[in-house]
Amino acid sequence: MSMLKWGGAATLLVLLGLALGQSSTSVAADKGSKPAAAPSAGWIGVVLDEKSEGGALVKKVFPGGPAAGAGVRVGDKIVSVGNKKLTSPKMLIEAVEKSKPGSALTITVMRGDNKVQLAAIVGSLREFHESYIHEMMRRDPRDPNSAKFAGVSAKDMNAEMFRRLMEQNQRLEITMQAVLKEVQELRAEVKALKK
């Protein structure tokens, strides 16, 4: 179970149409129905461990996604969204998908023994899908223009730089926590020796 879920046969038809160079309007028109402007579900860009209990354990964080920007890390357990306590990953998925894209979302995570409150701006799942499909089509080696970019775009480089900065920040925070713990232990030892 993940936040990167598609949505059934209708989405498959739209994706197939896009892959064949048609717009979603022409795919809907082929079925004889009028295309409807479906509201976009919310998206924060995490992959969850579907077996986790007492919250939602984060297995992966999409680089450059709303969760990464908020500071969510792999290994965090999301225990509440807003004022709603989570008991399963499904509850998180439902809460995020019901959130309006562009709205602020308070996420509480357990990071080790610490409870950390983070603020994320909910993204649009539809816009993510559209940009993802566009990017994958741009990288298609059958496309004569794909060699122009050598498979790397400025967006890719920004996402990778952001991911590396977040990893570096995480390593620094872990090291800092270890140093603080050691300093506290040394203070306790010095206090004991003074007595």
DSSP string, the chain: -BS----SHHHHHHHHHHHTT--HHHHHHHTTS----PPPPEE--EEEETT--SSEEEEEE-TTSHHHHHT--TT-EEEEETTEEPSSHHHHHHHHHHSPTT-EEEEEEEETTEEEEEEEEPEEHHHHHHHHHHHHHHT-TTSTTGGGTTT--HHHHHHHHHHHHHHHHHHHHHHHHHHHHHHHHHHHHHHHHH-
Residues 100-118: what's their mean pLDDT?
A: 91
Whether 120 contacts 70, CB under 8 Å: yes
Question: 149 pLDDT band (50/70/90 cuts)?
Answer: low
CA-based radius of gyration for the chain: 22
Whose tokens are 């498959």? That residue is: 12
Whether 89 contacts 1, CB under 8 Å: yes
Give per-residue pLDDT as tens, 72-96: 999 999 999 988 999 999 999 999 9
Tell me the percentage of the chain whose pLDDT exceeds 90.
29
Whether 69 contacts 63, CB under 8 Å: no
pLDDT score at 165: 84
Residues 39-61: what's their mean pLDDT?
A: 88
- Find, among 178, 193, 2, 184, the residue nearest to 97 by Cα: 2
Whether 116 contacts 109, CB under 8 Å: yes
First to last CA, the chain: 57
| Torsion, CA 71, CA 77, CA 81, CA 87, rounded to 10 | 170
Question: 40 pLDDT band (50/70/90 cuts)?
Answer: confident
Give per-residue pLDDT as tens, 150-166: 656 666 677 778 778 88
Does this model's pTM top 0.75? My answer is: no
